[in-house]
Structure 1
Amino acid sequence: MIDSNDKTNSPAESGRGRSRSDGDQTRQRILQAAGDLFGKQGFSATTNKSVAESAGVDLASINYHFGSRNGLYQAVLVEAHRSIVSLDFLQQLQQSPASPEQKLAGLVRFLARVVTARQSWNVRVLVREILVPSIDLRALVDAEITPKIVIVRQLLAAIAGLDVNDPRLATAMIQLAGPCLMLLVVDERLPLPVGEVRQQPPEQVAEQMLCFLIAGLKGLASTA
């Protein structure tokens, strides 16, 4: 007699499970291949055919999973941004019982490790998009950047003692994002301060960033 609670899948169900898993693996393989090519040679020089060859799939797989080359590029941008800082990470940080200052410290330390690390295709893709924005940037802003900005703005507002809609917080956001963007975009081999910073331990970079950020936020409420 078979127990009615038996969770064993039927052959058909098992097949569907394998298909979904195979589909996820194929999608991820395409993303990785496309990200690497977009990062090295840019969107305009990367064809669906070259992505398919690199990923070991047919062209139909790209259209099935992403709809078009622009759809694929948008997915790569989203994946790249999530690799820098994910919405899940920010939400967990927001919901933690730590003080606002401790939360900011956790965020800055995390970002410092990411932006001072050796560049991957994720970073190269984002750098290209930052330097030469495309029409696909809007999809990245809507899907990833905007909800993250909301959380970070709330955190900065709590430290500064300002209303979350106070326009002065826009400057504070730039003070947080600016150094991270510089460390991502500027080549460490150039004889600039950025090169010196990237040679320092991430923990040291984070503490220096925090020093400026906390002081600036504390003084922000006194500005006009």
Structure 2
Amino acid sequence: MKISREGAAKTRQSLLTTAGEIFGEKGYRETTIAEICRRAGTNIAAVNYHFGSKQALYIEAWRHAFSESIQTYPPSGGVSGDAPPEERLRGQVRAILRRITDRNNREFLFMQREMANPTGLLEEVLREEISPLQQRTEALVRELLGVMIPEQEAKFCELSIISQCMNPVVAGRGLGGKTGGRNGPLDIEDLEAYADHVVNFSLAGIRAVRKAWEERNRSKKAGRPSVSLKDGSRRP
């Protein structure tokens, strides 16, 4: 019996959604194709037809979960590209936090499992999908820092911003919940307040970095002697 194109697309979608749920719950190694097919209401032949292997289904299920996540929480956070860079940074931070704190977000569940028990299967797709988001943040940070700041310094600032978003969540998904105690993961109930804190803290740091490098460059132009620091940089 010939399966219609619409039916095939529906089966593929069901497999992607179901696989994402189970891979997120159990991880790659503990998940079986039989379980995915049973929950999706299809058979193993459908997996072989649409994906060819468990590994390919795993990769495509993550890509599907990531795509849904980005559609739900656009990287801009709803802020116009014409807005001042400070506001665009605020939009990006809010989008990141909303995305990774959504407990129904299969993308982040995937990554939790992958970090706990790495398969190496997502390395390439992560570079393809995550790198543009990182480059977006790097470009915004560079805009705030100015063109004279070294590339490494700009990268450090971008990493600092992302880490502030990720660390409390990775420590126990403590945003918006009651996890943690005196010595447990950070407990943050007000997501918007934390987003504002990350942005204000980061902007203050970026301004400090920019000011330090501008003073350093002025000193060099004036011919003043500078002092070598342990990291190899020089201070006026």
TM range (shorter): 0.7 to 0.9
Decide whether aligned partners of structure 1 residues 215 and 91 sit closer, same or farther in structure 2, where only a CA change above 3 A counts. Answer: closer
Residue 40 of structure 2 is aligned to residue 51 of structure 1:
no
Aligned partner of residue 86 in structure 2, secondary structure: helix
> TM-score, structure 1 length as denominator?
0.78
Percent identical across equivalent pairs? 25
Amino acid in the other structure paired with 2:94: R
Residue 196 of structure 2 is aligned to residue 207 of structure 1:
yes
Which protein shows a greater Rg? 2
Residue 181 of structure 2 is aligned to residue 196 of structure 1:
no
Q: Structure 1: state its 5+ residue gaps.
A: 1-17
C-alpha displacement of 1:82: 3.5
Decide whether aligned partners of structure 1 residues 201 and 83 sit closer, same or farther in structure 2, where only a CA change above 3 A counts. Answer: farther
Q: Show the counterpart of 1:100.
A: 85
Q: Show the counterpart of 1:37.
A: 22
- Quote the Cα distance in structure 2 between the aligned partners of 1:111 and 1:151: 12
> TM-score, structure 2 length as denominator?
0.75
Decide whether aligned partners of structure 1 residues 195 and 82 sit closer, same or farther in structure 2, where only a CA change above 3 A counts. Answer: farther
Q: Structure 2: state its 5+ residue gaps.
A: 214-232
Residue 118 of structure 2 is aligned to residue 133 of structure 1:
yes
C-alpha displacement of 1:51: 0.9
Which residue among 186, 201, 223 is the counterpart of 2:171?
Answer: 186
Q: Show the counterpart of 2:55.
A: 70
Q: Report if the CA contact (8 A) 1:127-1:184 is conserved.
A: no
Residue 182 of structure 2 is aligned to residue 220 of structure 1:
no
Cα RMSD over matched residues? 2.9
Give a deviation string over 1:115-137, Cα, whole Å, max 9, x none: 33335433221111133332212
Give a deviation string over 1:33-77, Cα, whole Å, max 9, x none: 111111111101111111111111111221222221111111122
C-alpha displacement of 1:196: 1.8
Decide whether aligned partners of structure 1 residues 125 and 92 sit closer, same or farther in structure 2, where only a CA change above 3 A counts. Answer: closer
Give a deviation string over 1:142-174, Cα, whole Å, max 9, x none: 320112222221111101114697111221222
Q: Report if the CA contact (8 A) 1:78-1:143 is conserved.
A: no
C-alpha displacement of 1:201: 1.9
Q: Report if the CA contact (8 A) 1:85-1:111 is conserved.
A: no
- Quote the Cα distance in structure 2 between the aligned partners of 1:181 and 1:132: 19
Decide whether aligned partners of structure 1 residues 118 and 92 sit closer, same or farther in structure 2, where only a CA change above 3 A counts. Answer: closer
- Quote the Cα distance in structure 2 between the aligned partners of 1:210 and 1:165: 22
Q: Show the counterpart of 1:174.
A: 159
| Higher normalized contact order (CA 8 Å, seq sep 6+, divided by chain length) | 1
Amino acid in the other structure paired with 1:158: E
More helix by share: 1
